[in-house]
Structure 1
Amino acid sequence: MEFLRTNGLKQIILLLLISLIGIVLVWQLKYFIPGLLGAITLYILLRQYYFNLTIKRRWKKWMAAMVLIFLCVLLLALPIWIIVQLLLPKFNYAFDHTDQIMANAAHVIDWVKGNLPKLKINDEQIQQGLQRILLIVPTVINATLNATASMVLNTLTAFFILYFMLMSGRDMEKKLLSLLPLKEVNKDALWVETKNMVVSNSVGIPVLMICQCIIAVIGYWLFGIEQPVVWGILTGVASILPLIGTMIVWIPICVVVFVKGDIGIAIGLSLYCAIVVSNIDNVLRFTILKRIGDVHPLITVFGVILGLQLFGLMGLIFGPLLVAYFILLIKIYRLEFSSKKEVDGVL
């Protein structure tokens, strides 16, 4: 009882204050959480190169940090610039040829009316559908602009935080590890899990996108689809989406080709995409990510679904990490608080 009135009570009050202040800080700064997660990701990927430059090659810390950040900016900006250069002319064409696009849409509607009479599509339903689309367009534009502004701000935040993380280096790591109320062996296990998961997803996901893009471009080119590179890039980007994945791109393409009357090409392309593109997507997701970081496929799938809702784009990395942490902390709990006989064989 005396313990509860002195040290125990003080400890409880202090923990409550720390928790309360932590919740307030996270709530008020939640807009910058993706930037913080991005900085952590880049730090884990770059720390070894930074230490090589500063320790082995004896570079100044600020110089090594600035060079690495510059290279990161270059690696991020170059593919974005290439994609924008490929897609921007298509958007300009769409704005300049709206009449042709509407005529093609009308052709598709006429084909559906003539070949699928059971759908009972009338002009009133079409008009209502167009009105709904027109109402959605401003919302989509606003959401896109907000997402772009958020991405730019969080990118700048990530590089700003990354600079100070690199400058602190091993001192920061030692301080953070010292704050964890765990045994040294469990601290090491937590660090290894973090490193494996971050490397697996941050390296594996771009590799998956590139492979998916190449396979899709080959298929679109073989079946005579116009602008196969553009559609291949969009297919590669869509491959990061869980469950739906590349289907969000190749199914509409196949439908349009089928409606135009190229039934053989449409069937062939559908089979290619369903058998090759979709299955390669699954094979790469369940093998490359596991081989790079020894991550279980189910952790990857469910982690991505969870992470996208919580953290946005950075959820592709930290969603699986959150699931892995949950499993690892259960094991660590048993190691920390169970008897020796119960612990044997846990890890």
Structure 2
Amino acid sequence: MEVDKAGSDMPDTPPRALIAPATLRWVALVLVTALITLMFFGMIRSFLIPLIMAAIVAELSRPLYRRIRTFLGGRRHLASAVTLVLILVLVILPVILIASIAAQQALGLSRSVVMIVNSLTASATEAALPDWIPYQEDIDDLGPEIANKVADLITAVARYMVATLSSLSRGTALFFLDTFIFLYAMYFFLQMDTPVMTQILRFTGLAAETQTKIAERSVSVSRATIKGTLVIGVVQGVLGGIGFYVAGIDGATFWGVVMGIVSIIPGIGPSLVLSIGVVYLLAIGQTGAAIGLGLWAGLVVTTIDNILRPILVGRDTQMHDILILVSTFGGLGMFGAVGLILGPVVAGLFVTIWTTLAEAAAMPPDGAHGPPETRKVTG
């Protein structure tokens, strides 16, 4: 019986010819998975925003859905339908109406402001400057140019506001299709026992504890941010718009929308717009209306934040004001009007991911408790 001399010395490993096909199969699987994923997201990319908004609104509306489901005896489908109808009637339709009115008023105000600037420029050019002022010819030439630049700036800002607000109310088939996708997806998202965020995290390969922590913190930060910015902004915008309407200032709906947006700026908020309204009323001689608007702004509009924020935010973690500011304006620039909600949510996810990563990196290894210098070295 012959014994292979190399048999007893060779390690028990498969030949390279058997390893290479398995590696190639894994590479092919990864490539095919990536290709199909890219094709899928490329196919539904125009519906990603409605789907994401549906997931966000469904998570925020889940407490209301649960109360309605309990009231209806546990009927999930009927409770989801009733929740959708309430959101449609109480939130979506009023937002579309307000956006339409604000867009029309923004266009009208831009034309009025341009006419006022032109009239002021014409009056300024007719007025004679004192002889002791130097470079009078240069100043005379510079006046109309400044006026034109100011008019161009106002027109550009008004056009941006019109385009942003009109995206909520454009009567196109695409808008109605996006709305249908939003409502249809939200109908099923509400009935899910496991939130969409948690289900997506299951495919990341992270530990179950980390997945739960990320999902809970993301929802908490997003909820607190939306409550602390969007809801308070809407309340301050409505109150400020009412003040402008009672004072007789044109475009009260548009200015209310502006005050709701700038309410995210810490320390300034709608006070800046209200102050401009007070100065305008004083300039045209309406002193009583100016005093009333100033009192309304100081006693009601600017103090409502201090009353509502502790009630709405509660114990939820809120992001820093600077991060809320840049994420909201960044969301407006990237996503349009829905960026008012989507921007802070993305920022909340950003903070949550990096906070969780920092905590995971700071955790001691298994079996090690306390700082390194206090651990005993065993032989």
Asked if these proteins are the same fold (TM beyond 0.5), I'd say yes
- How far the C-alpha of 1:82 sits from its partner, in A, is 6.2
Q: Residue 42 of structure 1: CA displacement? A: 1.8
In structure 2, runs of 5+ residues without a counterpart are: 1-12, 372-379
Alpha-carbon spacing, 1:269–1:55, altered in 2? closer, same or farther (3 Å): closer
Provide the alpha-carbon RMSD of the alignment: 5.2
Once residues 283 and 171 of structure 1 are traced to their aligned partners in structure 2, the CA distance between those partners, rounded to angstroms, is 32
2:121 matched to which residue of 1? 109
How many pairs are equivalent? 338
Q: Secondary structure of the equivalent of 1:293?
A: coil
- The answer as to 2:177 corresponding to 1:162 is no
CA contact (8 A) 1:177 1:187 kept: yes
Q: Write the distance in 2 (CA, Å) between the matches of 1:123 and 1:174.
A: 59
Task: Give CA deviations for 1:10-52 in whole Å, capped at 9, x if unaligned.
Answer: 4454344333433343344333222111111122123344445
Please report how far the alpha carbon of residue 160 of structure 1 lies from its aligned counterpart in structure 2 after TM superposition.
Answer: 1.5
Matched to 2:36, the amino acid is: I
CA separation of 1:161 and 1:266: change in aligned 2, threshold 3 A: same
Superposed, 1:1-347 pairs within 5 Å as 5=20, 10-51=25-66, 53-54=68-69, 57-77=72-92, 79-80=94-95, 83=98, 94=108, 104-110=116-122, 120=140, 121-123=142-144, 148-149=169-170, 152-170=176-194, 175-176=199-200, 178-213=202-237, 216=240, 220=244, 224=247, 226=249, 230=253, 233-239=256-262, 246=270, 249-250=273-274, 253=277, 256-257=280-281, 260=284, 291=314, 293-298=316-321, 299-312=323-336, 313=338, 314-331=341-358, 333-334=360-361, 339-340=365-366
Task: Report the CA distance between 1:64 and its aligned residue.
Answer: 1.7
TM-score by length of 1: 0.68
Contact 1:303 1:320 (C-alpha < 8 Å) held by counterparts: yes
Higher helix share: 1
The question of whether the paired residues in 1 share the 8 Å contact of 2:69 and 2:79 is answered with yes
Q: Please state how far the C-alpha of 1:106 moved relative to its aligned partner.
A: 4.2
Structure with greater Cα Rg: 2
Partner AA of 1:320 in structure 2: A
Query: What residue ranges of structure 1 are gaps of 5+ in the alignment?
Result: none
Q: Secondary structure at the match of 1:295?
A: coil
Q: 1:280 to 1:240 in 2, by over 3 A?
A: same
Offset of 1:74 from its aligned partner? 1.0
Distance 1:341 1:16, change over 3 A: farther
Shift of 1:173: 7.4
Cα 1:310/1:335, change in 2 over 3 Å: farther
Task: Assess if the C-alpha contact under 8 Å between 1:111 and 1:259 holds in 2.
Answer: no
Contact 1:204–1:292 under 8 Å retained in 2 = no
**Structure 1 residues 115 and 233, CA, compared in 2 at 3 Å: closer, same or farther?**
farther
Deviation at 1:240, TM superposition (A): 5.2
Distance 1:340 1:115 in 2: 84
CA distance in 2, matches of 1:227, 1:133: 16
Distance 1:248 1:191, change over 3 A: same
- Shifted more, 163-172 versus 293-302: the winner is 163-172
Given that residues 335 and 343 in structure 1 are in contact (C-alpha distance below 8 angstroms), is that contact kept between their aligned partners in structure 2?
no
- CA-to-partner distance for each residue in 1:72-102, whole Å, 9 max, x for gaps? 101214533663697599689x59xx8x877
Distance of 2:154 and 2:252 partners within structure 1? 28
Q: Secondary structure at the match of 2:190?
A: helix
